[in-house]
Amino acid sequence: MDILYQVFIDPFVQMVELPDFFLQVLWEGFVSGVLYALIALGFVLIFKASGVFNFAQGIMVVFAALSLVGLYALGLPAYVALIATVGIMGILAYTVERTIFHHLVNQPDIILLMATIGLTYFLVGFGEFVFGGDPKVMITEELGLPTGSTAFDVLGGLVILQHIDIAAAVIAIIMVACLAVFFNKTRIGRALRAVADDHQAALSVGISLDQIWMIVWFAAGIVALATGIMWGARSDVSFALEIIAFKALPVLILGGFTSIPGAIVGGLIIGIGEKLGEIYWGPLVGGGIESWLAYVIALVFLLFRPQGLFGEKIIERV
Amino acid sequence: MSVMEAGTPAAGIRGAAATSAETAARETLLSVENITLSFGGVHAIRNVSFEIAKGEIRAIIGPNGAGKTSMLNVINGFYHPQEGLISFRGQERRRMKPYEAANQGIARTFQNVALFRGMTTLDNIMAGRTLKMHRGFFWQCLHWGPALKEEVEHRHKVEEIIDFLEIQAIRKTPVGRLPYGLQKRVELARALAMEPDLLLLDEPMAGMNLEEKEDMSRFILDVNQQLGTTIALIEHDIGVVMDLSDRVVVLDHGEKIADGMPADVQANKAVIEAYLGVEH
Amino acid sequence: MFYREAGQFKTTYEADQAIFPILQDRMGIAVIMVLALVIPLFATDFVLASIMIPFLIFALATVGLNVLTGYAGQLSLGTGAFMGVGAYACYKLTTIFPDMNIVVMVLLSGIFSAGIGIVFGLPSLRIKGLYLAVTTLAAQFFLEWCFIRIPWLYNYNNSGAIEVPERTGFGGMVLAGPASPPITRYYVVLAIVVAITFLVKNVIRGRIGRTWMMIRDMDIAAELMGVRPLFAKLSAFAVSSYICGVAGAMLVFFWLGAAEPSSFSITVSFQILFMAILGGLGSLIGCFYGAAFIWILPVLLRTLLPSMGLDIASETVEHVSRMVIGALIIFFLIVEPHGLARLWQIGKEKLRVWPFPYA
């Protein structure tokens, strides 16, 4: 009985007793949720437009952040470094398309996935080779991003909001809005969806795969850069960031692989669920459950809705 | 209309086929009663009933989207109808898993070839023997003694089917490399390897040229007559249907609009309207 | 040329269904087996301990993954964790029964990972493809967490690591532990790997293997032909996890000598996945090619680059070898998406019809 109490009652009692702390936890969860959502967004972009599950998104985040910091360290002004990094992501998109995906048109999904894993390996090696393996500090202030924090008096306690987190949320919202318009309102957006459905059919109606893929990889690169800056501002810029790429998978599972709103909602659910779980239920089993809770949440969702939150019901045909 | 009328061998054989009186006297193998199937709000099949007699070739025809393939899916347990009853060999059943239907002796081929593309022709047909093989994991590991004996026994059976359908030359070829017509034939072979009581053929001749159609018609008749297998056949080529089948069911928009001997169905006003459109 | 099957007639189906129906193949495999037995007598301990033993162990893990992903078509990213289950199970078993033959313990420990594999395979009945990857990722991270958080698993060691005690077998031979000579360990590993690979080959060419491939190629058709997805998928999970478990136990007991949870991290899962893909999904011989490629190439790079007189920091070598492997993976995917095994097969087919370009 005691264990049942600890699992089903006690955490909620704690939440009600210390509402300010609860709000703080919610906010923390929300912020990491936003960052998960940003990473997932990069995945969704490429998946939606080419059917490739881009495993390299995580390393692209690291790579973009490292380039930015590295260029700044070379003496470029912060904003010039930022623009130059955008340029680097463009070159990366071009190179990736030319050397890899141009040759893999019409291959099964698993092969494309593997190619991005190969790319991940290459970029990890390349990044370490160029920038070294040490963690770096993100140039948050130099980029004009707000630092510091504001404390609010809520419910008889303090809730502290970091300015950078608020900025992250705002930037994420703007990016999502831009992407939604891009996908739904432009000619290229329609072409993207066509390519994702069937390479050959898209080619046959005159859509240039090369062009489309370059565009999405570039867009994903920019999303990666934004993610890298936000994430780097909260911790260090290091290759350890790469592990967060795995967190994108449960997010995508929840939201569906092709849904931009899905990525956001999924990211928030995972971010908040993970934090709540860790703080309120984690101590029961010795803590550290953040490492796997996201996957279990996604798994439970999947068992009830195999098509994800925003996916359509699958009718199997033969 | 099809060339099948032009006195092909298939048509000749059918000339000696069972009369309607004979068919009526045969025992019923499968009957579907008042089947209704819908996906969300879309009705795929509405209140359809018919039965298939033992030993006959029963055609199911109708325009595209009439619910023919859905009907087959219902029969072999892949879709579960919201209403209605199916009885096979006198046994009623409700929700049945596809593998249970297979176990009872229902085999089928698919409209879009559904071969196991990563396997050779031989393996595909051996796959049809899965239900007939029983050696457990231990012997499988050793692949020796009883397991080897079983494997070879079934290989003999499979080789008979390979001879029957004349596909000896492609025995060891991965099916992905075969031309379409041969893939269809391998699929038939795979279904036959299950030694079914009821064989469901979903457009076995779609996309075939004349020669391939003739071959396939020949094989279907041979299967029916030499092996005594009951066949339910979906086909768009009316000529083929008229020549091959004993009785025909016509579906349109998920409803049954006619059922009877090929000649009667051909003259049926509702059928003609469904195919040619109605004058208003 | 010399690789021809002209004149080799089969008069029974038994002969036709043999693993190596062609005489030249049988001779080839015999030569390889003799080499595998003889070479260690001349090889240094370094070659045995850092190249041959890990190569064989990784090849076996790849065989395990290939059963699941290559033959049954269920993508798994949890190989590392399943290997870990085998390793920890073996550690506990040998703690409880210190006098038992360690080889028996290693083989038994696979049963535990098979059980865990079945549990994590259950969602595969409802979830397919990439969605299934999340299940195996859950397994990966959850099991890794267990290796850290359940002190009982590592006998409450302060370090949180497991260390291989000295263990014997076959009449007092020291098979595991710091004092065991690499050559003994090599032969033990070789025997286990060859035996398990042989058994897996048998399963794959029989009924059970066919049901796996049916599920992989066209699950709906398979079901309509009487395959029960529950049994087919879970048996694949069980067999695969068993093999991975044995490989994991060997990894610790016959190679590393000690291990901590990070020895079975997601990196290992990916390494094994690369080996399977590069070698060729759905090919057993490919597992060995893949493992050789991914394991031996970096070792060669690490030893060769400095010895060529280039004065490079060891980190740099590490980075460069990563880049090279990444680039090679992409290169092979572009040249032949079906892996080294397919290249090998194409090569053999060309030889068979030589001097004609095709037949």
pLDDT digits over A39-70, tens only? 888 888 888 777 788 888 888 999 999 999 99
Look at residue B119 in the predicted model and tell me its pLDDT. 93
Look at residue C198 in the predicted model and tell me its pLDDT. 96
Distance from CA of B51 to the nearest CA of A (A): 23
**Cα separation, C275 vs C272, whole angstroms:** 5
A43 within 8 A of A57, measured Cβ to Cβ = yes
C118 within 8 A of C237, measured Cβ to Cβ = yes
What's the pLDDT band for B260 if we cut at 50, 70, 90? very high
Residues of B in contact with C13 (CB under 8 A): 151-152, 155-156, 159
Which among A123, A295, A318 has the least Cβ separation from residue C137?
A295
CB neighbour list of residue A183: distance below 8 Å, 6 or more residues apart: A48, A189, A192, A193, A260
**Cα separation, A29 vs C58, whole angstroms:** 39
Residues of C in contact with B76 (CB under 8 A): 224
Neighbours of C123 (CB within 10 A): 21
What does the pLDDT average to over A197-217?
A: 84
- In degrees and rounded to multiples of 5, residue B35 shows phi and psi of -75, 130
Q: Which of C107, C207, C345 to mutate to test the interface with B (most CBs of B within 10 A)?
A: C207
- In degrees and rounded to multiples of 5, residue B262 shows phi and psi of -50, -45
Q: Residue C323 pLDDT more than 80?
A: yes
Q: Which of C225, C231, C348, C358 to mutate to test the interface with B (most CBs of B within 10 A)?
A: C225
Q: Which two tokens stand for residue B103?
A: 């176990």
Q: Which two tokens stand for residue B75?
A: 């029969």
Look at residue A315 in the predicted model and tell me its pLDDT. 65
Q: Which helix (H) or strand (E) holds C118?
A: helix C102-121
Where in chain A does DSSP place strands (E)? 149-154, 157-162
Look at residue A262 in the predicted model and tell me its pLDDT. 83
Q: Residue B18 pLDDT more than 80?
A: no
Distance from CA of A4 to the nearest CA of C (A): 21
CA nearest neighbour of C323 among A123, A236, B242: A123
Q: Residue A154 pLDDT more than 80?
A: no
Which among C145, C321, C334 has the least Cβ separation from residue A103?
C334
Look at residue A314 in the predicted model and tell me its pLDDT. 61
Q: Which of A138-142, B235-239, C117-121, C282-286 has the lowest mean pLDDT?
A: A138-142
CA nearest neighbour of A7 among A280, A256, A222, A229: A280
Look at residue A91 in the predicted model and tell me its pLDDT. 95
Look at residue A216 in the predicted model and tell me its pLDDT. 86
> B230-234 and B57-61: which strand pairing?
parallel
C-alpha pair distances (Å), C353 with each of B170, B176, C5: 17, 21, 10
C306 within 8 A of C325, measured Cβ to Cβ = no
What's the pLDDT band for C194 if we cut at 50, 70, 90? very high
Which among C149, C220, C273 has the least Cβ separation from residue A286?
C149
Distance from CA of B128 to the nearest CA of C (A): 7
Q: Residue C113 pLDDT more than 90?
A: yes
Q: Which two tokens stand for residue C76?
A: 């798994």
Q: Mean pLDDT over all residues of chain A?
A: 83
What's the pLDDT band for C132 if we cut at 50, 70, 90? confident
Look at residue A1 in the predicted model and tell me its pLDDT. 67
Where in B62-192 does DSSP place strands (E)? 83-88, 91-93, 106-108
Cα Rg, chain C, nearest whole Å? 21
Q: Bridge partners of B35? A: B48
CB neighbour list of residue A171: distance below 8 Å, 6 or more residues apart: A226, A230
What does the pLDDT average to over C202-219?
A: 94
What does the pLDDT average to over B226-236?
A: 93
- In degrees and rounded to multiples of 5, residue C312 shows phi and psi of -120, 140
Percent of chain C at pLDDT > 70 equals 97
The amino acid sitting at A162 is: Q
With an 8 Å Cβ cutoff, is C227 touching chain B?
Answer: yes
What does the pLDDT average to over A28-43?
A: 86
A68 within 8 A of A228, measured Cβ to Cβ = yes
Give the domain ranges of chain B: 1-97+230-280
For C187-215, letters b (16+ CB in 10 Å) and e give ebbbebbeebbebbbbbbbbbbbbbbbbb
Residue ranges of domains in chain C, CATH in brackets: 21-353 (1.10.3470)
What's the pLDDT band for B68 if we cut at 50, 70, 90? very high
Topology at the third CATH level for domain B1-97+230-280: Rossmann fold (3.40.50)
Look at residue C359 in the predicted model and tell me its pLDDT. 54
Look at residue C358 in the predicted model and tell me its pLDDT. 66
What's the pLDDT band for B273 if we cut at 50, 70, 90? confident
For C311-326, letters b (16+ CB in 10 Å) and e give eeeeeebbbbbbbbbb
Angle CA A237–A242–A248, to nearest 5: 120
**Cα separation, C264 vs C61, whole angstroms:** 12
CA nearest neighbour of B48 among B255, B260, B257: B255
Residues of B in contact with A317 (CB under 8 A): 69
Which residue in B has a C-alpha nearest to residue C216's C-alpha? B116
How many residues belong to chain B?
280
Q: What's the pLDDT tens digit per position in C84-100?
A: 999 999 999 999 999 88
With an 8 Å Cβ cutoff, is B76 touching chain C?
Answer: yes
Q: Residue C350 pLDDT more than 60?
A: yes
Reduced to 3 DSSP states, what percent helix, strand and coil does chain A have, rounded to the nearest 5? 75, 5, 20
What's the pLDDT band for A187 if we cut at 50, 70, 90? confident
**Cα separation, B131 vs B11, whole angstroms:** 35
Look at residue B19 in the predicted model and tell me its pLDDT. 47
**Cα separation, C299 vs A238, whole angstroms:** 26
Q: What's the pLDDT tens digit per position in C19-67?
A: 888 888 899 999 999 999 999 998 888 889 989 999 999 999 999 999 9
How is residue B174 annotated by DSSP? B
Whether A99 sits inside 8 A of C330 (CB atoms) is: yes
> B106-108 and C167-169: which strand pairing?
unpaired
Which among A99, A257, A302 has the least Cβ separation from residue C127?
A302
**Cα separation, C52 vs C254, whole angstroms:** 12
What does the pLDDT average to over B268-274?
A: 87
With an 8 Å Cβ cutoff, is B78 touching chain C?
Answer: yes
**Cα separation, B88 vs B66, whole angstroms:** 23
Residues of C in contact with A253 (CB under 8 A): 131, 134
CB neighbour list of residue B99: distance below 8 Å, 6 or more residues apart: C223, C224, C225, C226, C227, C228
- Furthest C-alpha separation in chain B: 72
Residues of C in contact with B99 (CB under 8 A): 223-228
Residues of A in contact with C127 (CB under 8 A): 302-303, 306
Look at residue C309 in the predicted model and tell me its pLDDT. 66
CB neighbour list of residue B276: distance below 8 Å, 6 or more residues apart: none
Residue with tokens 């699941």: C68
**Cα separation, B98 vs B78, whole angstroms:** 5
**Cα separation, C301 vs C318, whole angstroms:** 9
Residue with tokens 């609009």: B257
Which among C207, C216, C282 has the least Cβ separation from residue B133?
C207
C-alpha pair distances (Å), C355 with each of C1, C4, C25, C28, C216: 8, 11, 20, 22, 37
Look at residue C97 in the predicted model and tell me its pLDDT. 93
Q: Residue B14 pLDDT more than 50?
A: no
**Cα separation, B146 vs B136, whole angstroms:** 10
Helix (H, G, I), strand (E, B) or coil at B39: strand
Look at residue A313 in the predicted model and tell me its pLDDT. 64
**Cα separation, B104 vs C270, whole angstroms:** 43
Q: Which A-chain residues 288-307 have CB contacts (< 8 A) with chain C?
A: 288-289, 291-292, 295-296, 298-299, 302-303, 306
C84 within 8 A of C252, measured Cβ to Cβ = no
**Cα separation, B174 vs A294, whole angstroms:** 42
DSSP states of C129-150: THHHHHHHHHHHHHHHHHHHH-
Distance from CA of B103 to the nearest CA of C (A): 6
With an 8 Å Cβ cutoff, is B111 touching chain A?
Answer: yes
Cα distance from N-terminal residue to C-terminal residue, chain A: 50
Whether B69 sits inside 8 A of A318 (CB atoms) is: yes
Q: Which helix (H) or strand (E) holds A41?
A: helix A19-50
C-alpha pair distances (Å), B36 with each of A20, B73, B96: 57, 13, 16
Q: Which residue has the higher pLDDT, A179 or B235?
A: B235
Among left, alpha and beta (phi > 0; psi -120 to 50; other), residue A165 is: alpha
C324 within 8 A of C331, measured Cβ to Cβ = no
**Cα separation, C240 vs C281, whole angstroms:** 14
CA C101 to chain centre: 23
What does the pLDDT average to over B230-246?
A: 91
**Cα separation, C162 vs C259, whole angstroms:** 5
Kindly list the partner chains of chain B, i.e. chains with 3 or more CB atom pairs below 8 Å: A, C
Q: Which A-chain residues 53-82 have CB contacts (< 8 A) with chain B?
A: none
What does the pLDDT average to over B60-64?
A: 90
If you count DSSP H runs as helices and E runs as strands, how many of each does chain B have, helices first?
A: 12, 10
Q: Which of A201-205, A230-234, A310-314 has the lowest mean pLDDT?
A: A310-314
